[in-house]
Amino acid sequence: MFVYLVRKLIGTIPTVFGVALIVFILFNMVGGDPTYQMLGKHATAQQIAELRHELGFDQPKYLQFLQFLKQIVTFDFGRSYATKQQISTMILDGITPSLTLTIPAFFFTTLISVLIGLLVAYFRGRIVDKLTVVLCVFGMSVPVLAYILFSQYFLAYKFGLFPIAGYDPEWPDRLVYVALPILISVLVSVGYDVRFYRTAILEETGQDYVRTARAKGLSEPRTYLKHVLKNSMVPILTNLVMEIPLLVLGAFLLESFFGIPGLGGITINAVHNSDFPVIKAMSVFMSLLYILGNLLTDITYTLVDPRVSFK
Per-residue pLDDT reduced to its tens digit, 3-44:
777 887 888 888 888 888 988 888 777 666 677 667 767 777
Beta bridge partners of 79: 86
CA gap 60, 65 in Å, rounded: 9
User: Is the Cα dihedral 13, 24, 253, 176 positive or negative?
Assistant: positive
Q: How many CB atoms lie within 10 A of CB 94?
A: 23
Which segments of the chain have a pLDDT < 70?
1, 30-33, 36-37, 40, 249-250, 304-311
64 burial via Cβ count (<10 Å: 0-12, 13-18, 19+): middle
- Nearest alpha carbon to residue 204 among 115, 112, 118, 304: 118
Torsion of the alpha carbons at 48, 54, 60 and 64, rounded to the nearest 10: -120
- Residue 265 neighbours by CB under 8 Å, 6+ apart: 94, 250, 252, 255, 256, 259
Instruction: Note the pLDDT of residue 33.
Output: 66
Instruction: Note the pLDDT of residue 111.
Output: 92
- Cβ pair 52, 38 in contact under 8 A: no
Q: How many CB atoms lie within 10 A of CB 68?
A: 21
The yes or no reply on domain 88-274 and CATH 3.40.190.10 is no
Query: How many Å from the N-terminal Cα to the C-terminal Cα in the chain?
Result: 10
**Domain range list for the chain:** 2-74, 88-274
Q: What is the pLDDT of residues 273-311, one digit of tens each?
A: 778 888 888 888 888 888 887 777 777 777 766 666 655
Give me the DSSP letters along 72-87. HHHT---B-TTT--BH
User: Is 0.75 surpassed by the pTM of this model?
Assistant: yes
Q: How many CB atoms lie within 10 A of CB 143?
A: 10
- Cβ pair 210, 227 in contact under 8 A: yes
Instruction: Note the pLDDT of residue 48.
Output: 78
